[in-house]
Amino acid sequence: MRIPILSINGSDSSGQSGIGADIQTIAALGGYAISAVTCVGDFVLPSDIVLEQVEKSISHLHPKAIKVGLVTDSETVRRLHNEVIACRRLVVAPGIFDAEGKPMVSDDVVEAIARYLVPEALLLMLRCRDAEKMLGISIKTDDDMLEAARLLHEMGAQWVLLRGGQHTKGRITALLYGPISPSCPSKSPFDGDFCISPSERDGVRLFFTSYNVDGWQRHGVSAALSAAITTRLGMGDDVPTAIRNAHDFIHSQVVYAKPDETGGRAIDIYNRFVSLVAENYRKAHDVKFYADRLCITTRYLSQITDRVVGKSPKQIIADYVLSEAKTYLITTRLSIQEIADRLGFSSQAIFCKFFKAQEKRSPSEHRNA
């Protein structure tokens, strides 16, 4: 039986964001998608209609987790509080600005979200510019992100995931901030060490970065990620694990995957290949491993990747591993040997040779740059 997951969100006619994308993401992860629409384009549904959808969904289907996305009416936000307050797995991911930076809600809605929904959130997900609006502060550095997350945590959110920091050129930064609990693993959900301040031993302060700035800022990626996290929470993951699993799914399915514009088999095989790389790059770097799992020859896989992205399968795998290596080098205190082990290299020397062939400098030089 599929686990019911409720998304309360606006409708985007393109289907690439909003309630349509949430439904697709929840279903793709094996959940049973329930929806309550708050607006259709610029048309805001009356509060009574939104609340009727939510009440029926909760009373009849008993969702295991709830996502609250775009709500553009402050009265609806206030009334939603009374409906979602009993949900232990509430993800609040309000769309305060769109991907281009255009405001989607008024100031009174932002204030209502902060007052009525943030205190009930197991996880609050905001872009940095959203947090700036909600808190009235500027976020330009990692320390600013930490301060913003601390303030949002003090407002009542158990966990805070801030995304979209671009204060380091060429990288996009996110921060996971929250408590350490018995269910919280001792290692980062992203395979790095937790960044825990000596004066704050009771909490998680984890920065993680990606060099794929364009991919993570695509229209709809943020909404899909929050829907994926909500689904994983409903399936029983704790917050760090839910984020890790959702991140891997979105990374392969949305950020790097190519849209099937032709209906051809090549795109489908390519996307399945990238999904397999996301799942197995820590242990498998050879093209034959992936070709065997796709039940095709290495030659045919090479023809497909060349046709779709103009790269060989070997280079796609190398790009993925290199991206992860850079993240470890910049955002963790792991030794070069530990990074080599985590990325599936048989020795530090082989890892260093691989890295230098790709980047024209050693891992240590990259870390110290």
- Tell whether 223 and 141 lie within a shared domain: yes
| Closest to 227 measured CA to CA, from 14, 13, 35 | 35
The reply to whether 23 falls in a domain is yes
- CA quadruple 335, 282, 234, 99: dihedral positive or negative? positive
Per-residue pLDDT of the chain (369 residues; tens, 9 = 90+): 789 999 999 987 655 678 988 998 999 889 999 999 999 988 999 999 999 999 999 999 999 999 999 999 999 999 999 999 889 999 999 988 877 778 889 999 999 999 999 999 999 999 899 999 999 999 888 788 889 999 999 999 999 999 876 545 556 678 889 886 544 444 444 433 333 333 344 567 777 666 555 555 565 677 888 999 999 999 999 998 898 888 877 766 655 556 555 445 787 788 788 878 877 888 899 999 999 999 999 999 999 998 888 889 999 999 889 988 887 888 778 899 999 999 999 999 999 999 999 999 999 999 987
Domain housing 276: 265-368
Q: What is the total residue count of the chain?
A: 369
* Last residue of one domain, picked from the residues 203, 237, 255: 255
Q: In what order do the strands lie in the sheet with 65-68?
A: 43-44, 31-40, 3-11, 65-68, 90-92, 123-127, 159-165, 172-179, 203-210
- Tell whether 279 and 225 lie within a shared domain: no
- Tell whether 186 and 312 lie within a shared domain: no
- Tell whether 27 and 143 lie within a shared domain: yes
- Tell whether 110 and 211 lie within a shared domain: yes
* Last residue of one domain, picked from the residues 230, 255, 280: 255
Encoding tokens for residue 77? Answer: 């936000």
In the chain, beta strands by DSSP E:
3-11, 31-40, 43-44, 65-68, 90-92, 123-127, 159-165, 172-179, 203-210
Compute the distance between CA of residue 180 and CA of residue 29 in angstroms, rounded to an integer.
Answer: 27
Whether the Cβ atoms of residue 227 and residue 25 lie closer than 8 Å to each other = yes
Whether the Cβ atoms of residue 220 and residue 22 lie closer than 8 Å to each other = no
- Tell whether 11 and 127 lie within a shared domain: yes
Reduce the DSSP state of residue 173 to 3 states and report it: strand
- Tell whether 276 and 250 lie within a shared domain: no
Compute the distance between CA of residue 228 and CA of residue 218 in angstroms, rounded to an integer.
Answer: 16
Compute the distance between CA of residue 109 and CA of residue 95 in angstroms, rounded to an integer.
Answer: 11
The pTM score is: 0.69
Q: Residue 66 is which amino acid?
A: I
CB neighbours of residue 225 within 10 Å? 25
The dihedral region occupied by 334, where left means phi > 0, alpha psi between -120 and 50, and beta the remainder, is beta
- Tell whether 92 and 152 lie within a shared domain: yes
CATH code assigned at 364: 1.10.10.60
- Tell whether 224 and 311 lie within a shared domain: no
The reply to whether 260 falls in a domain is no
Provide DSSP, 96-140: SB-TTS-B-S-HHHHHHIIIIIGGG-SEEEEEHHHHHHHHT----
| Closest to 316 measured CA to CA, from 212, 237, 228 | 212
Tracing tokens 């030089």 back to the chain, one arrives at: 365
* Last residue of one domain, picked from the residues 187, 222, 255: 255
Checking DSSP bridges between strand 123-127 and strand 159-165, what pairing results, if any?
Answer: parallel
Q: What are 34's strand-pairing partners?
A: 6
- Tell whether 14 and 139 lie within a shared domain: yes
- Tell whether 248 and 272 lie within a shared domain: no
Reduce the DSSP state of residue 207 to 3 states and report it: strand
Q: What are 5's strand-pairing partners?
A: 33, 65
- Tell whether 243 and 309 lie within a shared domain: no
Number of domains making up the chain: 2
